[in-house]
Amino acid sequence: MTEPTLPALYLASTSTYRRQLLSKLTAQFHTAKPDVDETPLANESAEQLVRRLAIAKAQAVVAGLNTGLVIGSDQVAVFNNDIIGKPHTAKNALAQLRRFSGNCVTFLTGLALVNAQSGNVQVIVEPFNVSFRTLTDAEIIAYIDKEQPLDCAGSFKSEGLGISLFSKLSGDDPNSLIGLPLIRLNQMLLNEGVNVLLS
């Protein structure tokens, strides 16, 4: 009896973090850079933004395909109803982490799986809460200097030294905090008839 083969799987992202996460489920996937404007729309909520962008990223890659499954994902941090993006500079990272000190930040990750052949779209928004312990400026500066989390929403890498900043993490899937909710993705793949354990 031959094992079923995995259909062509595409990750609509060039993020090393998402690539590493998807590798937990399967090594058989391609990556593609989606050409998508990520500017929020007027009056768009954080949840609406990540849902729209996850679908848009997947659809941008689907446009060049006849078959296959395409994964799109987008993430933002939300604090006091403000959407918090990537800091890009150490100064911005310092300001973000100062705001978060002693507080809870919610991360919203949009996840979409699009079937290029059928056009079927599955999409969810996965929340994850991060409670920060009270941090000193010296701790924040040392953390930024050591880990350089300038390309990460919220100015930290939870898979690395960033874990030392927290007092509590809560959510259904810790992978969603890094950018790809694998538990939900696995269910979406199962919905498409793909079982990574049997492929």
46 Cβ contact partners less than 8 Å away, ≥ 6 residues apart:
76, 78, 83, 108
Q: Tell me the C-alpha distance between 48 and 20, whole Å.
A: 26
* Cβ-contact 112, 122 below 8 angstroms: yes
**R_g of the chain, CA atoms, integer Å:** 18
- Comparing C-alpha atoms, which of 162, 132, 133 is closest to residue 147? 162
Tokens representing 78?
């939300």
Catalytic residue check, 74: yes
* Residue tagged active-site, from 35, 37, 74, 172: 74
Cα–Cα–Cα angle for 155, 159, 164, nearest 5°?
70
Tokens representing 174?
């810790």
Instruction: Please state whether beta strands 121-132 and 166-171 pair in parallel, antiparallel, or not at all (unpaired).
Output: antiparallel
Just list the catalytic residues: 74
